[in-house]
Structure 1
Amino acid sequence: MDKKTIVSVDIGGTKIACGLVTLGGEAPVIEKVEKVPTEAMKGGEHVLATVLEQVKAAIERADGEVAGVGISSAGVVNPRTGDITFANELMPGWGGTALATEVTKATGLACRVLNDVHAHALGEARWGGGRGKASCLVAAVGTGIGGAFVEHGHIMLGAHDEAGHIGHVCCPAAAGVPCSCGATGHLEPIAAGPGIIAEYVRLGGDETYDGKPMDGAEIDRRAAAGDEAAKAAEARAGRALGEVLGSMCNMLDPACVILSGSVAQCGPDWSDAMKEAFRGQAMPPVATTPVVDGELGGDAPLIGAAENFVESGYAEC
């Protein structure tokens, strides 16, 4: 492939990152990335205006010709049209946005859009932890839990463009626990960051520290220092995730599992529980599936969005 430079955008609930990604060399080159607050609660029209402003600024920063615009966005995305078909209350008014159409109208450049976790997974599969592997299951564990299954460099989307929602898989440890999606018993409310904090407080841990609300990084520090409530809260979350990942491997049989996100950086109380639970649920043929860390960090969705622009990163159902 000849070298191409793409304006690449990652739209999250808290920040929008926009930069230039050049493909066609030995590895992607990411440069001139700027980040601004999403200010999602101001509504979808405000977010769209911010995106258009950032894309135009990135075009100005480019040293040469720009091939087009690749976008990674929160919400359920129709990658064939670039429309945001659904977004939850964290992005009010974002659902229904004809994102690709609006970008093309404002810039004159072709635009393709992919869901943010799908884009993250595509970047990791092609250039990060899954490089050289025939398939991988990616789980992004932070404030929420998302995922994707990538086979031969293409994401499985499903009939409704939302395959990979690992956070909304039934989990025994979450029986009776309400989920943000309206169901009960899903993985996300107990294994994502807020679930770890809630369990720590339930076990008698502090709700605040140094005048700030308790957060996952502080709980991890306390677990490392021997705080029993912190250790138990992390172990519960790791165990729940491991059970689900083991079950998913039974169904999908990936060549590897890639973990990314802030929770995946937790210490041994979390990781040991996750690995033990994974082995407990995985059938013997898949019990040795490598579980590895993501390698690209915040660059993954930018690379994935650019890759998807140049060459479709999804598989039609």
Structure 2
Amino acid sequence: MSQTIVAVDIGGTKVACGIVTLGDGTPRISSVEKVPTEAERGGAHVLSVVIERVASAIRHAGARPVGVGISSAGVVNPRTGDITFANDLMPGWGGTSLSSEVTTATGFPCRVLNDVHAHALGEARWGAGRDAQSCLVVAVGTGVGGAFVERGHVMLGAHDEAGHIGHVCCPAASGVPCSCGAVGHLEPVAAGPGIVSEYVRRGGTKTLPDGTPVDGAEIDRRAAAGDEAARAAQARAGHALGEVLGSMCNMLDPACVILSGSVAQCGSDWSDALHASFVDQAMPPVAKTPLMGGTLAGAAPLIGAAENFARSAYVL
């Protein structure tokens, strides 16, 4: 029996909302719309954007939805649907009673999961990890997030924030300050901004001829063309991530590692360094753990949010 669920993915720059139909086969996604989050306007504004998008999706859904599944940035209490913490990229978002506010406004039950947890659940259940009993999903873009999924269940941790792989100690990041206030974490070296900073430090240009700031995609193009600073910056990021993934596999022993996000699309300088460092750190029993790319891309958090709702007590 199929279930129609309104799915929402709330990020720092955009809110995506669509209809996910879950049944016996692969989930179907339709009517996806994206609007700016406008996070700088505060948590109350973001909430109003979300409620407006959900209400619109409900009105235009082909079948009556059974409820709303949300993937959100920030630390989420999945039992209450509250945002318990959010950083400065989402000012005023922490403390939002997201699930209850959406239910009050729309009349539909709602379940909320952290965005990386939702992304991982989508990939593990319906994407690259669908045939694996367990997987470590790592998203590398502007930041570095992760989640461990075993037999379809996301490991949440005592404070609902398990999987912050970007904030584990990394030998390659020794002495590098992190946005969280600590020093030596993976994220400032392995994420996109870290690649850009390293490229510039090695003599690469900060801007294009038209004044546009150089971004990760441009550095990837330059690396493919043989720019040594670009190649070294990508290799450094790949090396840092690889050594952390090796350590994580020693601890968690997943059946596979799924890599997603914009940085995971980098070329051979990044991927070769990642694989070499992974093998250097991984113990022999886990050294052959498959490292694979995600297959759902931006659909992963929407599917994961819908899947999370479908597993909840709301669905009869």
Whole-angstrom distance in 1 between the partners of 2:63 and 2:83: 30
Match of 1:291 in 2: 291
Match of 1:68 in 2: 67
What RMSD, in angstroms, separates the aligned Cα atoms of the two structures?
A: 0.8
Whole-angstrom distance in 1 between the partners of 2:128 and 2:3: 23
Alignment of 1:260-299 (within 5 A): 260-299=260-299
Change (3 A) 1:132 1:94: same
Match of 1:77 in 2: 76
Match of 1:5 in 2: 4
Match of 1:212 in 2: 212
Residue 135 of structure 1 aligns with an amino acid whose one-letter code is S
Match of 1:173 in 2: 172
Whole-angstrom distance in 1 between the partners of 2:173 and 2:211: 30
Compute the TM-score of the two structures, normalised by the length of structure 2: 0.98
Query: Per the alignment, in what secondary structure is the counterpart of residue 248 of structure 2?
Result: helix
Query: Per the alignment, in what secondary structure is the counterpart of residue 254 of structure 1?
Result: coil
Whole-angstrom distance in 2 between the partners of 1:181 and 1:237: 19
Whole-angstrom distance in 2 between the partners of 1:166 and 1:63: 39
Match of 1:194 in 2: 193
Whole-angstrom distance in 1 between the partners of 2:197 and 2:238: 15
Identity of aligned residues (%): 76
Whole-angstrom distance in 1 between the partners of 2:10 and 2:106: 18
CA offset digits 1:242-286 (Å, max 9, x no partner) = 000000000000000000000000000000000000000000000
CA offset digits 1:123-143 (Å, max 9, x no partner) = 000000100110000000000
Query: Per the alignment, in what secondary structure is the counterpart of residue 181 of structure 2?
Result: coil
Whole-angstrom distance in 1 between the partners of 2:294 and 2:60: 29
Whole-angstrom distance in 2 between the partners of 1:143 and 1:126: 25
Match of 1:228 in 2: 228
Q: Would you say 1:104 and 2:103 are equivalent positions? A: yes
Match of 1:161 in 2: 160
Residue 295 of structure 1 aligns with an amino acid whose one-letter code is T
Query: Per the alignment, in what secondary structure is the counterpart of residue 49 of structure 1?
Result: helix
Deviation at 1:312, TM superposition (A): 4.7
- Greater mean deviation of Cα atoms: 22-31 or 112-121: 22-31
- Greater mean deviation of Cα atoms: 84-93 or 18-27: 18-27
Q: Would you say 1:259 and 2:259 are equivalent positions? A: yes
Compute the TM-score of the two structures, normalised by the length of structure 1: 0.98
Match of 2:307 in 1: 307
Residue 23 of structure 1 aligns with an amino acid whose one-letter code is L
Whole-angstrom distance in 2 between the partners of 1:235 and 1:38: 33
Task: Tell me how many residue pairs correspond in the alignment.
Answer: 312
Match of 1:120 in 2: 119
Query: Per the alignment, in what secondary structure is the counterpart of residue 213 of structure 1?
Result: coil
CA offset digits 1:145-191 (Å, max 9, x no partner) = 00000000000000000000000010011111111111110000010
Whole-angstrom distance in 2 between the partners of 1:273 and 1:133: 25
> Runs of 5+ in structure 2 lacking a partner?
none
Query: Per the alignment, in what secondary structure is the counterpart of residue 292 of structure 1?
Result: strand
Deviation at 1:72, TM superposition (A): 0.1
Match of 2:132 in 1: 133
Query: Per the alignment, in what secondary structure is the counterpart of residue 137 of structure 1?
Result: strand
Deviation at 1:61, TM superposition (A): 1.1
Match of 1:34 in 2: 33
Deviation at 1:25, TM superposition (A): 3.1
